[in-house]
Amino acid sequence: MPATITIDERFISGRVVLRRCVPADATAEYLGWLQDPAVNRYLETRWQEQTLDGICAFVAAMLASSDSVLFAITCDGRHVGNAKLGPVQGRHACADLSYFIGARDCWGQGLATEAIRALCQVGFVRLGLHRLQAGLYAGNVGSGRALEKAGFTREGVWRRQLAGPDGWEDHVFYGLLREEWVAVDPPRSAGNAALSGGGR
């Protein structure tokens, strides 16, 4: 299903525009995000060395994936972070989502919340899913707040399951059902949610 999303489609919420991440996005700036301890504090990428070749391979793998899609989070035309939807579980019509704002000068502007809202358009409108879900480190308070602002509910905790930057942390789970999203952010038509054309 995610493979049907083209590189020309755009998903918009507030100042944020999501588009598929492409090889040209694998820049030194992107690498710098993954190498920045402040940015990667709660990213799983922090466990391994990051290189431009590795980023290029990851972006290519996401473009070829049949069950996941990697988006560039853009604001005013600038690539400021990434968001991922998937894996999509087709039989259960649900998917995981994840995201990060790599450009530190864009922190505190609500862009993560808008990126999550745009991901909801992708999941619920474009792909017709029933449920979206996310997991995070308990210490990542800002990420939890962004999910809650986008309508997600805190659903459960796996106690001390994750090796956090300062010791063992709870793994906190959030979820949003389509009918809940409809109540807080009525879906737009696919034509409005996904703006086709214009290339990159």
Name the nearest CA neighbour of 73 among 31, 106, 40: 106
β strands within the chain, DSSP E? 11-13, 16-20, 69-75, 78-89, 94-101, 131-137, 153-164, 167-177
Separation in Å, CA 172 to CA 47, 133, 157, 198: 20, 11, 5, 39
Structure tokens at 194: 């996904």
Q: Provide the mean pLDDT of the chain.
A: 91
137 part of a folded domain: no
Q: State the pLDDT at residue 130.
A: 97
41 vs 61: CA distance, rounded Å: 24
Structure tokens at 16: 């944020």
47 part of a folded domain: yes
54 part of a folded domain: yes
Residue matched to tokens 């489609």: 9
Q: Given a cut of 80, is residue 196 above it in pLDDT? A: no
* pLDDT average, residue stretch 54-68: 96
28 part of a folded domain: yes
Q: Given a cut of 50, is residue 52 above it in pLDDT? A: yes
Backbone angles phi, psi at 34, to 5 degrees: -70, -20
158 part of a folded domain: no
Alpha carbon 28 to chain centroid, angstroms = 20
* pLDDT average, residue stretch 61-74: 97
Q: What angle do CA 70, 72, 75 make, to 5 degrees?
A: 155
Q: Given a cut of 80, is residue 104 above it in pLDDT? A: yes
Separation in Å, CA 99 to CA 151, 160, 172, 190: 16, 22, 15, 22
Peptide bond into 87 cis (omega under 30): yes
Range of the domain at 102: 6-131
Per-residue pLDDT tens over the stretch 138-192? 999 999 999 999 999 999 999 999 999 999 999 999 999 999 999 887 655 333 4
Domains in the chain: how many in total?
1
* C-beta of residue 27 within 8 angstroms of C-beta of residue 50: no
Residue 133 amino acid letter: Q
145 part of a folded domain: no
CATH code for the domain in which residue 15 is found: 3.40.630.30
168 part of a folded domain: no
36 part of a folded domain: yes
Per-residue pLDDT tens over the stretch 105-144? 999 999 999 999 999 999 999 999 999 999 999 999 999 9
